[in-house]
């Protein structure tokens, strides 16, 4: 009888399996690196051509394979690493599925040279699309060399999904970075089109490796973690102090039993460890290694082994979160954060100060008022460095003499300069709430303005205009600052010099992954410039991968605006508010604000009366 169902040929099975394991050149690099590390290699050379699309070549000094093993290694479900299902929960190796080489071979042309002895008796195997075409014996050093050419040569549909060379190289460098962090004692070299891109010698420990990979200057802001928990749990690594942050989570590296994992539970635990310490949208730099009884974790939930399942999810989460909290505890602001976490607590300091009836005290009181709300040290510094430039705002920041044009009227300041006011300038200022919101009255309505959002919007408009008009004016730094970046950010900066120049930065390569920052956009206070450039580099990298720098320029301008302006939690003098309002009046609010955050909320009198049941 005819059947509708048939068993697929082996070759097709391998191609299907390859679909899961091999997405792009970096996935091949990952699998080959895992094999070399499992083979005990201490020296690994990775050579790529055309971002790995043309060639991926790995040479290691690991244990190598004998003739039979070399043949078997191309078979699907062929592995030396496990024998029975119980081994799945006692894994000590990175690989175990026995399908990587078979999958890779099925979608490329592979040359394997391997030797498991010091007598030079080596094996060579050449395969195309998974079929062995050629074998030979040859004199070889101990270790293994694998060349993977023309990835997806027999899967044109897949090949179309590959991105440009630099993007693929970036992904591959990411993979190398992760393995290099996990294995400081192994030397890694990455070559691209014959150029040495990364050269990492064997190191004694994680610190040196982090310095070589992410920049030595980072070390001073990293704390080391070394915690032993119950149940065989152990956490080690380096984490950033709250003042060192990134605009993306891409510098959070988490490893479980030596394996890089991007796990939701672990990520959440890390951010939980930093609760109250970071501003929204900021992420720490974290390289942590969790050791856990292999029986407590299932790594066989995803073909690329990037995700795991914990038996005791909550236990692991809390161990990591508390571990980080404990390590960060000496940072004095953490206690404040806990005290002040009551939601809805009203800080009336500023509003009260405004309503005092002497001319001089109130402003001084506002300025000296303790920071009521806990903020990471970083943002406090930012505030300090981003106060409004005095020259820009008349007498803005001087608090010892209250400007004469500000008149006290029924506990309210009335803004001066009534001639042809715009909407904002026409508002009646009531005060400042929680050092973050400006309270105003518009006829009978109460208006709340988010001061940070408002400043950001003003800064963004200025930058957008300047950018559209040609270039953003820049200011030369008296002392150029040297930045050390990781591989991908450095590549992104290197590739986007022109774009950065039109954004007002002058950045010159300074050897390796370092750059000299010589000029920055005028709008910025220079204190924060290095941090901004690192953020811009991250953003460029993200956007660059998507290949849409031009369209995404707004994102970068927002980032810059965000760095250039006043934060929340800063008391503002009435003149400063007035100046802000004048600038807001210049903005065409019909234009789309890419941030999408409102800067103003209105409450009508009847809404307020309803709150008090007056109706
Ligand atoms: P897995 O790593 O899951 O076992 P692979 O398909 O990646 O499966 O590799 C199959 C086998 O080939 C491995 O189990 C290992 O014995 C051998 N092998 C692969 N690469 C190397 C290498 N670089 N050095 C020594 N042995 C290797
Ligand atoms: Mg493997």
Same domain assignment for residues 535 and 398: no
Distance of CA 365 to the CA centre of its chain: 39
For residue 531, is pLDDT > 90?
Answer: no
Query: What is the residue with the minimal CA distance to atom 19 of ligand 1?
Result: 35
| Cβ neighbours of 603 (radius 10 Å) | 12
What atom in ligand 1 is closest to the CA of residue 58?
23
**How do strand 286-291 and strand 252-256 relate by DSSP bridges?**
parallel
Cα 606–609–615 angle (5° rounding)? 90
Same domain, 261 and 358: no
Total domains present in the chain: 4
| Cα 80 to ligand 2 centre (Å) | 10
pLDDT band at 22 (very low <50, low <70, confident <90, very high): very high
Given ligand 1 and candidates 68, 79, 111, which is best to mutate, with the most ligand atoms within 8 Å of its CB? 79
Domain-embedded: residue 217: yes
Ligand nearest to the CA of 97: 1
Shortest-distance atom of ligand 1 to CA 144 = 23
d(CA 38, ligand 2 centre) in Å = 8
Span from the CA of 35 to the centroid of ligand 1 (angstroms):
5
Span from the CA of 178 to the centroid of ligand 2 (angstroms) = 16
Give the ligand whose atoms come closest to the C-alpha of residue 82: 1
Residue 448 lies in a domain: yes
Per the structure, the complete domain to which residue 557 belongs is given by 471-562
Lowest-pLDDT range, 274-278, 384-388, 465-469, 563-567?
A: 384-388
Task: Report whether pLDDT(242) > 70.
Answer: yes
In a domain, 2, yes or no: no
- 440 beta partners: 429, 447
Classify residue 340: in a domain, yes or no: no
Q: Tens digits of per-residue pLDDT, 464-518?
A: 888 888 778 888 888 888 888 888 888 888 888 888 888 888 999 888 889 999 9
Q: Looking at ligand 1, which atom is closest to the CA of residue 60?
A: 23
Residues 117 and 196 placed together within one structural domain of the fold: yes
Looking at the structure, do residues 32 and 120 belong to the same domain, yes or no?
yes
Mean pLDDT score, 603-610:
89
Q: Is 168 left (phi over 0), alpha (psi -120 to 50) or beta?
A: alpha
- Ligand 2 centroid–CA 23 distance in Å is 15
Asked if pLDDT for residue 149 goes beyond 80, the answer is yes
Element (DSSP H or E) covering residue 183: none
Residue 410 lies in a domain: yes
Which amino acid residue places its CA nearest to atom 8 of ligand 1?
98
**Does residue 381 carry a pLDDT above 70?**
no
DSSP H or E stretch at residue 255 = strand 252-256
Banded model confidence at residue 406, pLDDT cuts 50, 70, 90: very low
Cα(303)–Cα(376) distance, integer angstroms: 40
- If you take atom 1 of ligand 1, which residue's CA is the nearest one? 98
Asked if residue 545 and residue 589 are part of one domain, the reply reads no
165-182 helix and 206-214 helix, angle to the nearest 10 degrees:
160
CA atoms within 13 A on the CB side of 333: 18
- Whose C-alpha lies nearest to ligand 1, atom 18? 35
Q: Whose CA is nearest to atom 17 of ligand 1?
A: 73
Same domain, 22 and 165: yes
d(Cα 472, Cα 599) in Å, to the nearest integer?
A: 25
Q: Are residues 302 and 354 in the same domain?
A: no
**Whose CA is closest to atom 7 on ligand 1?**
100
In whole numbers, what is the pLDDT of the chain averaged over residues? 80
Query: Cβ distance 420 to 585 under 8 Å?
Result: no
Looking at residue 50, which CATH number applies to its domain?
3.30.565.10
User: Could you tell me where the beta strands, DSSP code E, fall in 50-98?
Assistant: 55-60
CATH number of domain containing 575: 3.30.1540.20
Judged by average pLDDT, the poorest of 301-315, 440-454, 515-529, 599-613 is 515-529
Where does a domain end: 180, 200, 220? Answer: 200
**Residue 247 banded pLDDT, cuts 50, 70, 90:** confident
Between vectors from CA 95 to CA 92 and to CA 100, what angle results, nearest 5°? 175
For residue 299, give the ligand nearest its CA: 1
pLDDT of residue 597: 67
The answer on pLDDT for 264 being more than 70 is: yes
Pocket test for ligand 1, best of 34, 35, 125, 143 (most atoms within 8 A of CB): 35
Do 14 and 37 belong to one domain?
Answer: yes
Within 6 A (CB) of ligand 1 lie 31, 35-36, 39, 60, 62-65, 73, 78-81, 95-102, 144
Is 543 among the domain residues? Answer: yes
**How many Å apart are CA 152 and CA 158, to the nearest integer?**
6
The rounded distance, in Å, linking the Cα atoms of 473 and 467 is: 9
Say if residue 315 is in the same domain as residue 168. no
- Candidate of 29, 95, 125 to mutate for ligand 1, largest count of ligand atoms within 8 Å of Cβ: 95
- Centroid of ligand 2 to alpha carbon of 36 (angstroms): 8
Q: Which among 33, 37, 38, 113 is the best mutation to test ligand 1's pocket, defined by most ligand atoms within 8 Å of the CB? A: 38
Determine the distance separating the centroid of ligand 2 and the alpha carbon of 34, expressed in angstroms.
6
Higher-pLDDT residue of 412, 71: 71
pLDDT of res. 359: 28
Is the confidence at residue 210, as pLDDT, over 90?
yes
Give the Cα separation of 315 and 231 in Å (integer).
10
State the residue for tokens 């234009």.
591
CB 578 within 8 A of CB 415: yes
The Å distance, Cα 103 to ligand 1 centre, comes to 12
CATH number of the domain enclosing 247: 3.30.230.10
pLDDT per position as a tens digit, 550-592? 667 777 788 788 777 656 677 888 888 988 898 888 876 644 4
If asked whether residues 372 and 419 sit together in one domain, one would say: yes
Claim to verify: residue 117 and residue 87 sit in the same structural domain = yes
Q: How confident is the model at residue 16 (pLDDT cuts 50, 70, 90)?
A: confident
Lowest mean pLDDT among 189-203, 235-249, 269-283: 269-283
Q: Which residue, chain included where needed, has tokens 């040290």?
A: 377
Q: 43 and 177 share a domain?
A: yes
Task: Name the residue at shortest CA distance from atom 12 of ligand 1.
Answer: 73
Residues 77-92 have a mean pLDDT of: 86
**365 assigned to some structural domain:** yes
The answer to whether residue 333 sits within a structural domain is: no
């Amino acid at each position: 009888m005819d059947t509708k169902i048939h068993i697929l040929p082996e070759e097709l099975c391998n191609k299907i399996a390859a679909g899961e394991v091999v997405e792009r050149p970096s996935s091949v690099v990952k699998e080959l690196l895992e094999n070399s590390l499992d083979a005990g290699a201490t020296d690994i050379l990775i050579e790529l051509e055309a971002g790995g699309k043309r060639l991926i070549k790995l040479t290691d000094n690991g244990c190598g394979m004998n003739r039979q093993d070399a043949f078997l290694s191309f078979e699907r479900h062929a592995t030396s690493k496990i024998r029975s299902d119980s081994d799945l929960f006692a894994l000590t190796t990175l690989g175990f599925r026995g399908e990587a080489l078979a999958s890779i071979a099925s979608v490329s042309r592979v040359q394997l040279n391997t030797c498991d002895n010091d007598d030079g008796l080596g094996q060579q195997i050449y395969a195309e699309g998974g079929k062995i075409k050629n074998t030979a014996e040859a004199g070889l050093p101990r270790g293994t060399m694998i060349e993977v050419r023309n990835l997806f040569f027999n899967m044109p549909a897949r090949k179309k999904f590959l991105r440009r060379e630099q993007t693929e190289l970036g992904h591959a460098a990411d993979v190398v970075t992760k393995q290099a962090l996990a294995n400081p004692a192994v030397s890694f070299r990455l070559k691209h089109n014959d150029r040495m891109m990364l050269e990492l010698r064997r190191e004694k420990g994680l610190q040196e490796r982090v310095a070589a990979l992410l920049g030595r200057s980072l070390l001073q802001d990293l704390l080391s973690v070394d915690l032993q928990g119950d149940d065989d749990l152990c956490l080690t690594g380096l984490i950033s102090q709250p003042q060192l942050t990134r605009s993306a989570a891409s510098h959070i590296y988490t490893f479980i039993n030596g394996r890089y994992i991007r796990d939701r539970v672990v990520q959440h635990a890390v951010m939980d460890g930093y609760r109250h310490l970071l501003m929204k949208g900021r992420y720490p730099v974290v390289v942590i290694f969790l050791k856990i009884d292999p029986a407590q974790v299932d790594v066989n939930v995803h073909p690329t082994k990037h995700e795991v399942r914990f038996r005791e999810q909550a236990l692991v989460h809390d161990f990591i979160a508390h571990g980080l909290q404990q390590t960060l505890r000496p940072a004095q602001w953490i206690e404040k954060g806990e005290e002040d976490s009551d939601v809805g607590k009203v800080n009336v300091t500023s509003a009260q100060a405004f309503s005092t009836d002497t001319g001089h005290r109130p402003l001084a009181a506002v300025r000296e008022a303790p920071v009521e709300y806990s903020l990471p040290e970083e943002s406090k510094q930012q505030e300090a460095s981003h106060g409004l430039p005095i020259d820009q705002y008349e007498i803005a920041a001087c608090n010892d003499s209250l400007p004469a044009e500000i008149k006290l009227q029924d506990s309210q300041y009335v803004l001066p300069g009534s001639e042809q006011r715009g909407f904002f300038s026409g508002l009646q200022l009531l005060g400042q709430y929680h050092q973050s919101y400006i309270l105003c009255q518009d006829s009978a309505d109460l208006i709340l303005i988010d001061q940070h959002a408002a400043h950001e919007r003003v800064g963004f408009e200025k930058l957008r205009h300047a950018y559209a008009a040609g270039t953003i004016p820049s200011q030369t730094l008296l002392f150029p600052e040297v930045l050390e970046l990781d591989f991908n950010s450095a590549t992104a900066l290197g590739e986007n010099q022109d774009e950065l120049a039109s954004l007002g930065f002058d950045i010159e390569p300074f050897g390796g992954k370092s750059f000299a920052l010589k000029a920055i956009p005028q709008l910025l206070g220079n204190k924060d410039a290095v941090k901004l450039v690192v953020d811009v580099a991250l953003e460029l990298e993200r956007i660059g991968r998507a290949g849409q720098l031009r369209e995404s320029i707004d994102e970068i301008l927002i980032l810059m605006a965000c760095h250039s302006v006043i934060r929340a939690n800063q008391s503002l003098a009435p003149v400063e508010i007035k100046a802000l309002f004048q600038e807001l009046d210049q903005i065409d609010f019909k234009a789309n604000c890419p941030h999408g955050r409102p800067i103003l909320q209105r409450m009508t009198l009847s809404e307020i009366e309803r709150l008090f049941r007056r109706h």
